[in-house]
Amino acid sequence: MEKLKNASWVVLATAEALAIVFLVALLIQGKVGGIPAAEAGKLAVDFINKNFAGGAESAKLVKAESANGVYKLDINYNGQDYVSYVTRDGQIFFTEGISIKPVEAKEFPKTAKPELGAFVMSFCPYGNQAEDALFPVVDLLKDKAAIKLHYIFYSNYGDAAKSSDFCYDTERKYCSMHGIQELNQDVREMCVAKYQPDKFWAFVKEINAKTDSTNVDSKWEAIAKGLGIDAKKIKDCYKDEALDLMKAEAELTAKSYPVQDPSQNNGTAESTIQSSPTIVLNGMIYNGDRTAEDIKKAICSAFETKPAECDQTLSTATSTASGSCE
């Protein structure tokens, strides 16, 4: 998944312009003294189109506003969105800004029943480690909190000539990083969550322990039947509902969520779901450690009234769970 929001214009420069852009501040022609934000933004966009797009109108100004003594510019370049800055006199253009002011982590919104969603790929090793941390949290909090898995799908992933190796459809709208069997399993897990939620976590645990992205298609059914899951119902769900289920998940990953700790997100206060695992608690992206105890503490901080279970201590083992698939 491309990281659009914090991408630098540097990658768009020609070889001749690269040395100039790398200086961060670029001189552009304009009036001396303060000028309106829209006018300064137009100067910046004209500069981009002239120097990086060969005169084509590839860059467009979406919005210009005052921020921290300069003008903040929302610019769309070839269909992708960027945030850049220009001085108020329109003379110096900055490809991006880096905040040097420490930002404290935010508190999670409090609710009677906190909702935690972990966005994963069923065979991302880091996502599986996060799931391992979630298992005891689910056992502890049970109906006190709503803890769910969500799934990450890509569009146009992998070699187009081998799209069936990664993608559900020939248009390559729904694809999975670790291959088509991972995508199939993502959908099956969504179907179990929908129709036999009481079996869901046991199913995920068994799948993680006994299968991988190369053999799950041939092994999942025996595992499901062993747990009392109606395999035919899951097959019917896959056949009839796969597209709707994936569409709903893709919409969730495309949403912008406030970030608990912007200092761990390049200073950005909001982000979309970009990697497995990403944990969202009461609508805010969680940036803490991925141990069972740390996740439990985060959920407990989001209760309006903490249940007695929050006094129990869970494992603090973390292994290599700080990585991600992206």
Q: Given pLDDT bands bounded at 50, 70 and 90, which one contains residue 23?
A: very low
Distance, CA of 305 to CA of 302 (rounded, Å)? 9
Distance, CA of 271 to CA of 258 (rounded, Å)? 7
Structural domain harbouring 40: 9-94
**Residue 1 belongs to some domain of the structure:** no
Nearest CA among 269, 200, 205, 254 for reference residue 229: 200
**Residue 108 belongs to some domain of the structure:** no
pLDDT number for residue 303? 98
- The average pLDDT across 134-159 equals 94
Please report, for residues 74, 141, 146, the alpha-carbon distance to residue 299 in angstroms, rounded to integers and kept in the order given. 35, 9, 10
- For residue 4, pLDDT over 60 is answered with no
Q: Residues 140, 86: one domain? A: no
- For residue 54, pLDDT over 70 is answered with no
Residue where a domain terminates, one of 28, 61, 94: 94
**Residue 2 belongs to some domain of the structure:** no
- Under 8 Å between Cβ of 182 and 194: no
- For residue 37, pLDDT over 80 is answered with yes
CB-count burial class (<10 Å; 0-12, 13-18, 19+) for 306:
middle
Q: Residues 154, 293: one domain? A: yes
pLDDT number for residue 22? 36
pLDDT number for residue 3? 40
- For residue 60, pLDDT over 80 is answered with yes
Q: Residues 38, 71: one domain? A: yes
- For residue 245, pLDDT over 70 is answered with yes
Distance, CA of 7 to CA of 76 (rounded, Å)? 12
pLDDT number for residue 101? 60
What's the full length of the chain, in residues? 326
Q: Residues 196, 249: one domain? A: yes
**Residue 147 belongs to some domain of the structure:** yes
Residue where a domain terminates, one of 29, 63, 94: 94
Q: Given pLDDT bands bounded at 50, 70 and 90, which one contains residue 7?
A: very low
- For residue 80, pLDDT over 90 is answered with no
- For residue 28, pLDDT over 60 is answered with no
Q: Residues 268, 165: one domain? A: yes
State pLDDT tens for residues 313-324. 998 876 545 688
**Residue 222 belongs to some domain of the structure:** yes
**Residue 324 belongs to some domain of the structure:** no
pLDDT number for residue 319? 52
Distance, CA of 106 to CA of 258 (rounded, Å)? 9
- The average pLDDT across 175-194 equals 97
Give the domain CATH number at 186: 3.40.30.10
pLDDT number for residue 94? 84
pLDDT number for residue 213? 97
Q: Residues 204, 74: one domain? A: no
Q: Residues 22, 127: one domain? A: no
State pLDDT tens for residues 226-239. 999 999 999 999 99
State pLDDT tens for residues 118-141. 999 999 999 999 999 999 999 999
- For residue 77, pLDDT over 70 is answered with yes
pLDDT number for residue 21? 43
Q: Which residues pair with 94 in a beta bridge?
A: 25, 85
Q: Residues 188, 276: one domain? A: yes
- Under 8 Å between Cβ of 97 and 252: no
Residue 9 corresponds to which tokens in the numbers above? 């214009």
Q: Residues 84, 139: one domain? A: no
- For residue 58, pLDDT over 90 is answered with no
pLDDT number for residue 104? 63
Report the chain's mean pLDDT, rounded to a whole number: 86
Residue whose entry in the numeric block shows the structure tokens 């944990």: 279
**Residue 317 belongs to some domain of the structure:** no
Q: Residues 201, 302: one domain? A: yes
Q: Residues 132, 84: one domain? A: no
Residue where a domain terminates, one of 59, 94, 129: 94
Q: What's the whole-model pTM score?
A: 0.69
pLDDT number for residue 219? 98
- The average pLDDT across 296-320 equals 90
Q: Residues 33, 176: one domain? A: no
**Residue 88 belongs to some domain of the structure:** yes
Overall domain count for the chain: 2
